[in-house]
């Protein structure tokens, strides 16, 4: 932690001059889809920022929205599109070139003067926006006695100092009872997905405190810096096979350099290693740490194609060599003689015609040429990689605001695992990429429809095929908490296939209706169906879950895993 503070302080002190900028928009799939669909609808790459590394900065989003409104007004034809542009503009009003609308009604004269802000104050030196955070939900799961609920309360604030330093803070406390399959996942991993540390609440419930925050500033016109405690996401998909938002927040320092068509992102972070799981947490309360570095170079090839190449390293101890933002990590690892885990690969998107996009990812964990390309070596345990392929169709079949998405994800057995302690690609016992870890195939279909401006319909369905371990001392390559060298499968080097171990198949569908009562105040109605069959089950395991939620300034919770 001291090393990150030192790095951020040095960067800030060296560069006295900074440009006007803002905090980052929390990564919210519903919100980000509204942003990205207009790039796909226009057909050309976003000229302001690359979308391959999330979250986005508010000032850049404001620039993009204003440019889109002026250049592509012909594409914004439906009432729902006009509502969405107005909603996004109001949410980032301090960075719009033209003043956005004031609230028709204020509260006590000082509150809700803008639709998006409970309270705001803005002058030449200081800018602050304060909002309450609330999530109240209740649901019933068929076959379960206890009522399912969530009760989250908190505070969110953002702003800037001297128009040079942006800041964001988010604090909530939560008590919840999860659907049964999420409870089983939490118990098996010893961590609440997206939160990490938790305490018991009642009989089947969990309680946890969430805190995220960051500061951001510009080092030059082309180099931006961010220091914070949050999550990051790489790619264009519903999932990411490189770095996702599934694990809990972690401390990081990020540099983003944008020159011409190039965008170079460096991420240096400290994560929580595989907590010794004796009961529920270490008796001494001390959690071991590990160090993660990632850099991605993206380039726009013409107006319709973006390609990004990346390299990541996970080390069990801090090393200054990995702080070099422009070096090849694999070379550093060889020079140091360390067993640190390095992954590399690429991602990309292609807006091949207006309204349609192809996207994908490839993450390479281990490579032996003959075993990767050779016929006899295709099922080697050293053939470790993950792939993603996806397709987006905006205004599908010429129906306004009907958007479709199809996605395929796959990870070979033992991908993301490591043979040395604390070097697997996970954080606080949860995967950094896909929720299933490895040893799986998955197909996802998403339909988003906005029949009227304030109503969003989201139907998500997926099919998963994966292999599980029959016991704790056997490792078929899906559980990232297990040692790569200890398998006890009797298979040897070859003969490893996706789904090995105890075969599982999951079919799940979720239908959600979200109605925006006011800016960032939603009421949700959702229905989930999940069916799991497995070799060790006598009969299928079926779950039906119905839920109603009221949320304010919070991301809609999904249980799609």
Q: What is the mean pLDDT of residues 460-486?
A: 93
CATH number for the domain that contains residue 416: 2.40.160.130
pLDDT for 322 equals 66
Q: What is the mean pLDDT of residues 270-287?
A: 63
pLDDT for 458 equals 98
pLDDT for 283 equals 42
The region of weakest confidence among 11-15, 195-199, 317-321 is 11-15
Distance, in Å, from the CA atom of 491 to the CA atom of 476, rounded to the nearest integer, reads 10
pLDDT for 18 equals 46
Nearest to 363 by CA among 234, 263, 268: 234
Across 75-84, 231-240, 294-303, the highest mean pLDDT is recorded for: 231-240
Give percent of the chain above pLDDT 90. Answer: 63
pLDDT for 299 equals 94
Q: Which domain holds residue 30?
A: 24-552
In a domain, 15, yes or no: no
Confidence band, pLDDT 50/70/90 cuts, at residue 213:
very high
- Average of per-residue pLDDT values in the chain: 88
Across 68-82, 190-204, 370-384, the highest mean pLDDT is recorded for: 190-204
**β partners of residue 361:** 347, 388
In a domain, 558, yes or no: no
Instruction: Please give the full DSSP string across 303-351, using - where no structure is assigned.
Output: TTEEEEEEEEEEESS--GGGG-TTS-HHHHHHHHT---EEEEEEEEEEE
In a domain, 560, yes or no: no
Q: Confirm if 386 and 436 have CB atoms less than 8 A apart.
A: no
Nearest to 521 by CA among 558, 557, 550: 550
pLDDT for 329 equals 55
pLDDT for 99 equals 66
Pairing of strands 289-301, 262-272: antiparallel
- In tens, the pLDDT along 481-503 reads 888 888 888 888 888 999 999 99
pLDDT for 486 equals 86
In a domain, 368, yes or no: yes
- In tens, the pLDDT along 498-521 reads 999 999 999 999 999 999 999 999
Distance, in Å, from the CA atom of 393 to the CA atom of 72, rounded to the nearest integer, reads 18
Distance, in Å, from the CA atom of 4 to the CA atom of 215, rounded to the nearest integer, reads 13
In a domain, 10, yes or no: no
Angstrom distances, CA of residue 334 to CA of 101, 417, 514: 58, 19, 51
Query: pLDDT at residue 444 above 80?
Result: yes
| Burial category of 2 from C-beta neighbours within 10 Å (exposed 0-12, middle 13-18, buried 19 and up) | exposed
CA dihedral 190, 194, 199, 204 (to 10 degrees): -80
In a domain, 6, yes or no: no
pLDDT for 200 equals 87
Q: Confirm if 130 and 539 have CB atoms less than 8 A apart.
A: no
Q: Which residues contact 91 (CB under 8 A, 6 or more apart)?
A: 116, 519, 520
Q: Confirm if 504 and 534 have CB atoms less than 8 A apart.
A: yes
Q: Confirm if 468 and 501 have CB atoms less than 8 A apart.
A: yes
Strands, DSSP E only, in 178-304?
199-201, 205-218, 223-230, 233-234, 250-259, 262-272, 289-301
Confidence band, pLDDT 50/70/90 cuts, at residue 382:
confident
pLDDT for 395 equals 95
pLDDT for 274 equals 75
Residues in the chain: 561
Q: What is this structure's pTM?
A: 0.92
Tokens of 427: 């954080």
The region of weakest confidence among 101-110, 267-276, 382-391, 393-402 is 101-110
In a domain, 2, yes or no: no
Query: pLDDT at residue 12 above 50?
Result: no
> Of residues 309 and 74, which shows the higher confidence score?
309
Query: pLDDT at residue 416 above 90?
Result: yes
Instruction: Please give the full DSSP string across 542-556, using - where no structure is assigned.
Output: EEEEEEEEEEESSPP
In a domain, 561, yes or no: no
Query: pLDDT at residue 147 above 70?
Result: yes
Confidence band, pLDDT 50/70/90 cuts, at residue 199:
confident
Query: Is the alpha carbon torsion for 108, 109, 113, 118 positive or negative?
Result: negative
The region of weakest confidence among 18-22, 224-228, 338-342, 533-537 is 18-22
Distance, in Å, from the CA atom of 127 to the CA atom of 117, rounded to the nearest integer, reads 12
pLDDT for 288 equals 84
Confidence band, pLDDT 50/70/90 cuts, at residue 279:
very low
Chain-centroid distance, C-alpha 536: 32
Give percent of the chain above pLDDT 70. Answer: 87
pLDDT for 282 equals 46
Report the domain count for the chain.
Answer: 1
């Amino acid at each position: 932690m001291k090393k990150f503070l030192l790095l951020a302080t040095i960067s800030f002190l060296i560069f006295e001059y900074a440009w006007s900028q803002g905090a980052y928009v929390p990564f919210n799939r519903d919100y980000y889809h509204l942003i990205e669909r207009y790039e796909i609808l226009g057909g050309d790459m976003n000229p302001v920022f690359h979308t391959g590394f999330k979250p986005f900065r508010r000032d850049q989003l404001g620039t993009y929205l204003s440019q889109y409104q002026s250049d592509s007004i012909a594409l914004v034809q439906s009432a729902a599109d006009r509502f969405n542009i107005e909603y996004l503009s109001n949410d980032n009003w301090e960075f719009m070139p033209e003043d956005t609308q004031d609230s028709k009604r204020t509260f006590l004269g000082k509150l809700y003067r803008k639709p998006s802000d409970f309270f705001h104050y803005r002058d030449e030196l200081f800018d602050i926006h304060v909002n309450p955070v609330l999530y109240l939900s209740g649901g019933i799961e068929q076959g379960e006695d206890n009522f399912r609920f969530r009760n989250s309360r908190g505070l969110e604030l953002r702003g800037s100092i001297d128009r040079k330093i942006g800041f964001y803070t988010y604090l909530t406390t939560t008590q919840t009872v999860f659907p049964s399959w999420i409870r089983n996942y939490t118990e098996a991993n010893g961590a609440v997905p997206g939160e990490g540390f938790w305490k018991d609440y009642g009989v089947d419930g969990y309680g946890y405190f969430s805190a995220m925050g960051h500061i951001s500033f510009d080092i030059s016109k082309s180099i931006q810096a961010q220091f914070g405690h949050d999550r990051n996401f790489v790619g264009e998909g519903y999932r990411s096979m490189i770095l996702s938002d599934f694990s809990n927040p972690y401390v990081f320092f990020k540099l983003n350099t944008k020159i011409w068509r190039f965008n170079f992102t460096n991420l240096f972070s400290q994560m929580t290693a595989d907590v010794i799981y004796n009961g529920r947490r270490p008796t001494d309360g001390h959690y071991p740490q590990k160090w993660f570095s990632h850099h991605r170079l993206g380039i726009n090839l013409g107006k319709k194609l973006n390609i990004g190449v990346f390299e990541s390293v996970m080390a069990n101890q801090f090393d200054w060599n990995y702080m070099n933002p422009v070096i090849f990590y694999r070379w550093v690892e060889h020079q140091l003689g360390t067993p640190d885990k390095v992954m590399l690969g690429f991602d990309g998107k292609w807006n091949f015609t207006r309204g349609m996009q192809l996207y994908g990812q490839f993450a390479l964990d281990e490579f032996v040429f003959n075993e990767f390309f050779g016929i006899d070596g295709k099922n080697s345990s050293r053939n470790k990689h993950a792939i993603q392929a996806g397709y987006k169709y905006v205004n599908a079949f010429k129906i306004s605001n009907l958007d479709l998405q199809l996605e395929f994800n796959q990870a070979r057995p033992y991908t993301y695992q490591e043979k040395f302690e604390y070097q697997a690609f996970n954080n606080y016992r949860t995967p950094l990429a896909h929720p299933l870890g490895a040893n799986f195939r998955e197909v996802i279909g998403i339909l988003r429809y906005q029949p009227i401006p304030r109503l969003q319909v989201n139907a998500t369905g997926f099919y998963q095929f994966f292999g599980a371990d029959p016991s704790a001392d056997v490792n078929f390559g899906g559980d990232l908490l297990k040692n790569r060298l200890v398998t006890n499968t009797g298979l040897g080097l070859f003969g490893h296939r996706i789904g090995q171990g105890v075969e599982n198949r999951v079919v799940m569908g979720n239908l959600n209706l979200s109605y925006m009562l006011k800016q960032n105040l939603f009421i949700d109605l959702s229905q989930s169906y999940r069916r799991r069959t497995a070799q060790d089950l006598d009969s299928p395991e079926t779950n039906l879950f119905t839920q109603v939620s009221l949320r304010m300034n919070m991301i809609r919770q999904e249980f799609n895993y």
